[in-house]
Amino acid sequence: MAKVLILGATSPIARLLAAHFAEDGATLYLAARDTAEAAKIATDISVRTGAVVHSGAFDAADFATHADFIERAAQKLGALDGVVLCFGTLGEEDAAQIDPNAALATIHQNFTGAVSLMTLAAHRLEEQKRGFMIVIGSVAGDRGRARNYVYGSAKAGLHTFTQGLRGRMARAGVHVMTVKLGTVDTRMTWGREGTLLTISPTRAADSIYAAYRRKAEVVYVPWFWRPIMGIVKLIPERMFKRTRF
Amino acid sequence: MSSAAIPISTSAGSSGRPKRAKLSGWGRYPALDCDLYRPEKFSELASIVASNASSILARGAGRAYGDAALNADNRVVDLTRLDRMISFDPPSATLSAEAGVTLSEIIDVFLPRGFFPAVVPGTRYVTLGGSIAADIHGKSHHRDSSFARQVKSFNLLLASGEIRRCSREENADFFWATVGGMGLTGVILEVELELRRVESAWLEGEEIRAPNLDAALEAFERTDSQYDNSVAWIDCASGAGKLGRSILTVANFAPRNSLPPAMRQEPFAIQPKFQPSVPFDLPNFALNPLTVRTFNAAIYAMHRGNARPKRFDYQSFFFPLDSIHNWNRIYGKRGFVQYQCVWPETESRAGLIETLEAIGASRRGSFLTVLKKFGAQDGILSFPMPGYTLALDFPVADGLMEFLDRLDAMVLARGGRVYLAKDARMRPETFHAMYPNLPRWQQIKASIDPNHRFSSSLARRAMMIPA
């Protein structure tokens, strides 16, 4: 029985991923800032699947608490076989481009918080020489755009960090997967323009779980973002800076 | 490094952005602009309701046909993301779940454990909240009454921001005004529902071919005491001696030991079926008197013999139309109007004849027409009453609204009424005359929501609440 820690468990994708793990017999610890919601989701998954699901509080940006938090979660689970990083926020991009505090907040929520938690978790997984880590990034991290480069740069950092960690963890037999997510129909994108390529959280979670099962390394969800971003990355900077992506 | 000093931008507890959206019900008529929210956390919902911006209405799966889940130029809160199950107690078969949970999910989770909702409508894709608000009914109404009968309690978020537990004992007035109250008393949050025990995913019963209306009514009267579920498909395109010819389907859930030995091992397993989809709107002329007549004659002809014992899987028995995704598209871009009415028992036969004749004379074929006998009913604004109900669907076309006004007058003259969850056009004076308990409901509504913060396009059109 896998013991899986899900960070940022109140997002729709995290909830659906958790349900996939539960259906396959995993024991879960759902961590989120909004503990009331995390508890509701834990109960829901438990009623639906019969799995044992714990829940508790964590704050990605409160670095000082991370070591204790990981320890507590592992204790509650009895072991730690996998970590799924689902937290992240678009933040207030307009504010973030003017106010350094807002910019740093976005970076902490999406990148430095993840660095801190992944470093702690990686140590455990490496020592026990088994386990996995799933990291939810974004296609926004593939190229900086005028519209959301603060968020995008945090995700780019996350991708690179995860990439390096994958190499280190490979030696210990630990599977590290990067997910580059396109637009998904959640509160993050609700009411925003450009929803032509948007997919449902169910489809996103199904693809991510399938990719995890076949031990993918870097996966675009949905798949068509790979060719799209492949082309986007080829556009010369001189032209790209004038586009309205 | 501690982050305590760094303000983290957070949207927890905020109401999020609304999306201006053209919404419609399942009939796709009317389509109206609403400010749509879709909270993913309870705290978001609470702050949307707390804001005084404009009137507000909760919406479930959008399976009501007309304008019941619309609130033109006002706020609509889609509750489909608040769909968590809270607890299940097998000895009492009681499930607690948030209002956004659908019957489909309940069936998926609990049928393999031997439980099924006692009342299901013709589609499984409805939410608990919507089912209570419309007090929906199903093929077991003559036995189990409507949806409210299996609801033990629910929590209601009021305009004041308070949450009240409502049941037959606690806040009983709120309970009965919310059941069938079309979402106008508050937001239904969590529901306590009693499921029924079943031994298999199969039903056993009969298909009875009735050559005319009297034969159909006789078959209902004869079989309803034997079967928990009954419904008739009725050919509304034939007249004279064949008027009201029907195929009646009646069945009970099959006990495990009545299944063939091979199926007894896995009594809850049914084969998933291919589910076609209607990928685009058919042109408006696709449904015309000729195609409707041909389709209905073909269905009747397919059922040979008088009475045949049959075994049905629950999906094809309860939810035949769910097997075609987006079937509402066959009615074309203009959409369609469902018309469901009921007559008191003594007036049913005359009402049915008069209505079927009027439809025949109008040459407005109803593609699928359903006949069903209702049983006892509670609930202040609930639609059913003991007697026969007829459900018809008409593509939106010139002259349709006038025609339906005529049907209204005929139904009203016999003491019958029309179903709000399917309605898109009834006149307020008709509605008021058909629902004699309305003043009592309005009194409770005024006490629970004095400023009418909860409203809907239906509520304003039918003048359920003061203008």
**Amino acid sitting at position A224:** F
Distance CA B296, CA B285 (A): 17
Q: Is residue A18 part of a domain?
A: yes
Q: What is the per-residue pLDDT across A20-49, written as a single tens digit (0 to 9) for each?
A: 999 999 999 999 999 999 999 999 999 999
- pLDDT for B296: 73
Residues of A in contact with B87 (CB under 8 A): 43, 47
Q: What is the per-residue pLDDT across B362-395, written as a single tens digit (0 to 9) for each?
A: 888 787 899 999 998 888 999 999 999 999 988 8
Catalytic residue list of A: 151
Q: If residue A101 lies in a helix (H) or strand (E), which one and from where to where? A: helix A100-107
Q: Is residue A108 part of a domain?
A: yes
Residues of A in contact with B195 (CB under 8 A): none
Q: What is the per-residue pLDDT across B175-209, written as a single tens digit (0 to 9) for each?
A: 999 999 999 999 999 999 999 999 999 999 999 99
Which residues neighbour B294 within 8 Å (Cβ) at sequence distance 6 or greater?
Answer: none
Total number of domains in chain A:
1
Q: Is residue A67 part of a domain?
A: yes
How many other CB atoms are found less than 10 A from the CB of residue B406?
12
Q: Does B21 touch chain A (CB under 8 A)?
A: no
Whether A105 and B42 lie within 8 Å, measured CB to CB? no
- Partners of residue B196 on adjacent β-strands: B116
Chain B: residue whose CA lies nearest to A64 = B2
Domains and CATH numbers, chain B: 85-198 (3.30.465.10), 202-265+278-425 (3.30.70.2520)
How many other CB atoms are found less than 10 A from the CB of residue B429?
12
Residues of B in contact with A108 (CB under 8 A): 3, 6, 8
Size of interface A-B (CB pairs under 8 A): 81
Residues of B in contact with A47 (CB under 8 A): 85-88, 109
Whether B6 and A104 lie within 8 Å, measured CB to CB? yes
Q: If residue A169 lies in a helix (H) or strand (E), which one and from where to where? A: helix A149-170
State the pTM of this model. Answer: 0.92
- Partners of residue A30 on adjacent β-strands: A6, A55
pLDDT over 80 (residue B220): yes
CA A103 to chain B, closest CA, distance in angstroms equals 9
Q: Is residue A94 part of a domain?
A: yes
Q: Alpha helices, DSSP H only, in B363-427? A: 400-413
Residues of A in contact with B38 (CB under 8 A): 187, 190
Chain A: residue whose CA lies nearest to B106 = A48
Q: Is residue A245 part of a domain?
A: no
Q: Does B18 touch chain A (CB under 8 A)?
A: yes
For residue B40, the 8-state DSSP code is S
Out of B9, B16, B84, name the one closest to residue A92 (CB): B9
Q: Is residue A155 part of a domain?
A: yes
Q: Does A35 touch chain B (CB under 8 A)?
A: no
pLDDT (mean) for B150-173? 97
Q: Is residue A173 part of a domain?
A: yes
Could you tell me where the beta strands, DSSP code E, fall in B53-150?
56-59, 75-78, 85-89, 94-98, 115-117
Q: Are B232 and B371 in contact (CB under 8 A)?
A: yes
Domain that holds residue A58: 3-240
User: Could you tell me the CATH number of the domain that includes residue A124?
Assistant: 3.40.50.720
Pairing status of strand B31-37 against strand B75-78: parallel
pLDDT (mean) for B397-409? 95
Q: Does B113 touch chain A (CB under 8 A)?
A: no
Out of A44, A104, A106, name the one closest to residue B84 (CB): A44
- pLDDT for B4: 35
Q: Is residue A100 part of a domain?
A: yes
CA B5 to chain A, closest CA, distance in angstroms equals 10
Whether B7 and A186 lie within 8 Å, measured CB to CB? no
Out of A91, A95, A191, name the one closest to residue B19 (CB): A191
* Confidence category of residue B330, pLDDT binned at 50, 70, 90: confident
pLDDT over 80 (residue B299): no
